[in-house]
Amino acid sequence: EDSIGVWLVLGRNWGSIIDRDHFREQMENHAVRNNFFNLLKNLGDEYWIGVPGAPKIKDIKTVFELVELVKKAKVENYFIIGCEINSFSKRISSENISKTVLEEFRKLYPLYEIMWHK
């Protein structure tokens, strides 16, 4: 009720299992995981990864830390990369909400391209 979430989500309980397996495979490729890490770090300080015990993205210092977080993600839980925007923020005012949501999805889409099994 007090925020709007902008999330990139992989399903739980075997939903998105093909994407999860693909994503884990992608994280074995050094070039892909470095690219993913850089894209992730450029999201902004308000972003987080929905893995129990995960630090905020701004506090993930190395590619190795990121890979370990991906490995910790359990299929029973959603895997989320997201942010919450306070409902009183000017970023989601009537004039700005469309622009804000599109900007956030623009940042998340390259990550989705890496995670999604095509």
The pLDDT tens digits for 93-115 are 999 999 999 999 999 999 999 99
Residues 99-112 as b/e (b if ≥16 CB within 10 A, e otherwise) read ebeeebeebbeebe
Average the pLDDT over each of 6-20, 45-59, 61-75 and give the range with the smallest value: 6-20
Residue 37 predicted with pLDDT over 80? yes
Residue 89 predicted with pLDDT over 90? yes
pLDDT of res. 113:
94
User: Which residues lie closer than 8 Å to 3 by C-beta, 6 or more apart?
Assistant: 84, 85, 86, 87
Instruction: Report how far apart the first and last C-alpha atoms of the chain are (Å, whole number).
Output: 35
